Amino acid sequence: MAEDTPQDIPFDKTFDLAPGHAEACGPEGSVPVRRILCNNPSPFTFKGTVSYIVGRGKVAIVDPGPEDPQHIAALLDATRGETVTHIFVTHTHRDHSPNTPALKAATGAIVLAEGPHRHARPLNIGEHKPLDSSGDVNFMPDRRLADGEVVQGGGWALEAITTPGHCANHMAYALKDTDMLFVGDHVMAWATSIVAPPDGAMSDYMASLEKLSKRKEQIYFPGHGREIRNAPEFVQYYIRHRQAREASILHRLAKGEADIPTLVRAIYIGIDPRLTGAAGLSTLAHMEDLVARGMVATDGAASIAGTYRLAG
C-alpha cells in the first residue's frame, strides 16, 4: 500500500502489464522469475498486486494476492504442467495474503511467512483502528520463518529477511545466488510505502531500510509496480526522504504546536486527496517515533487526534 509520490525520489510509474498474464521479469541466465498482475487497481495498490512465480518446474509463488478467484485461475494457468511447492507471503495486508488458502487447496503447497497478522504496538485506550479492515487476521502460515532462514526449493533458494515497519510481520525474500530480492511493500518504484500505526511503526521501518541498504542485491521486485534496479541506491533515496519529512515536521512545530491535519497540510504538498488519510497515519507514525525519542511532546500517548509541540 502506498502513501504519496514526493519529488525527492526518482519514481518510475511505467508498468503496463495486463492483468492475468505471466511475464518473465528476471535477468537472463539467472533463476527464472515471472510476474502476474492481479486486477485490483486503486490509489493504494497502483495497477494492482503483483504475484511472482520463482523457478521453473517446481516453483514458489510469492504473495497470492487478495481474495480473487480470477487471479487464482491465472496463477494456476501460468504454472500448468509445473508443481507449486511453496507459497511465500510478505505480509498480511488484504491485498497480499487472502488468496493463500485457495491457492494452497489447489496446489498442496506449504505456506511460509513470518507469522500471523499483528500490530506493531498495543492499541491505545479507545483507539480507533483506522486500517483494521486492511489486516488479514485469518492468515496462518504452515511454517513461520526466522530472519536469515533459507528455504531450498527445486532449483532455487529463498532467504527470509525480517523487514517490519509497513506491517509488523513484513518479510522480504532474497533469491539466493542471484541479484534479486522480493521486497513486498517495503520499497516500491512508483510511490512511498505507507507506515500506518498500529500495523506499522516508523522506528522499525527506518531500521528495515538501513538493513536492506547494506545488502548486495540490485533488483527488487515489489508488491506493486515495476522492479527497482540499482536498489541499494534507491533505498538511500527512501531513507533521505523520511529524514526530510521528519525535518519538515520539526520545522513546522518550531512555529507552534499543531495537530495531525495541520502537519499533513504543511508537509504533503499537492498530495492526491484520496491519500490524505494515509498521509495522516504516516505522520502519526513519525510522531510516535519523535515522541519516543524525546524530541516532541503530546498529552498522553501519541494519537491521531493529538496535538504536538517540540519537547523541552
Separation in Å, CA 219 to CA 37, 86, 157, 234, 257 = 18, 22, 16, 10, 42
Smaller CB distance to Zn ion: residue 50 or 253? 50
The size of the interface with Zn ion (CB under 5 A), counted in residues, is 4
Residue 252 CB, nearest approach to Zn ion (Å): 29
Measured distance CA(154)–CA(216) in Å, rounded:
24
Smaller CB distance to Zn ion: residue 63 or 289? 63
CB 225 within 8 A of CB 15: yes
Residue 121 CB, nearest approach to Zn ion (Å): 21
Smaller CB distance to Zn ion: residue 168 or 287? 168
Binding string, residues 115-154; x marks residues near Zn ion by CB under 5 A:
----------------------------------------
Tell me: does residue 3 bind Zn ion (CB under 5 A). Answer: no
Residue 223 CB, nearest approach to Zn ion (Å): 4
Tell me: does residue 223 bind Zn ion (CB under 5 A). Answer: yes
Tell me: does residue 4 bind Zn ion (CB under 5 A). Answer: no
Smaller CB distance to Zn ion: residue 51 or 162? 51
Separation in Å, CA 270 to CA 254, 274, 295 = 23, 11, 27
With cell 484520496, the residue in question is: 274
Find the part of the chain contacting Zn ion (CB under 5 A) among 21-29, 185-193, 197-205, 251-259.
185-193
Smaller CB distance to Zn ion: residue 223 or 280? 223
Beta strand residue intervals within 27-96, DSSP E? 33-37, 50-54, 58-62, 83-88
Measured distance CA(288)–CA(274) in Å, rounded:
23
Residue 192 CB, nearest approach to Zn ion (Å): 13
Tell me: does residue 68 bind Zn ion (CB under 5 A). Answer: no
Residues constituting the chain:
312
DSSP state of 123: P
Residue 137 CB, nearest approach to Zn ion (Å): 16
Measured distance CA(224)–CA(288) in Å, rounded:
27
Smaller CB distance to Zn ion: residue 95 or 227? 95
- Pick one of 3, 95, 114, 246: the residue that binds Zn ion (CB under 5 A): 95
Strands 258-259 and 296-298: unpaired
Separation in Å, CA 159 to CA 67, 88, 146, 176 = 26, 11, 10, 7
Smaller CB distance to Zn ion: residue 2 or 253? 2
Find the part of the chain contacting Zn ion (CB under 5 A) among 33-41, 148-156, 222-230, 259-267.
222-230
Identify residue 246 by its one-letter amino acid code.
Answer: E
Q: Torsion over CA of 169, 150, 181 and 105, rounded to 10 degrees?
A: -70
CB 191 within 8 A of CB 45: no
Find the part of the chain contacting Zn ion (CB under 5 A) among 56-64, 151-159, 221-229, 289-297.
221-229
Tell me: does residue 185 bind Zn ion (CB under 5 A). Answer: yes
Which residues here bind Zn ion, judged by CB under 5 A? 1, 95, 185, 223
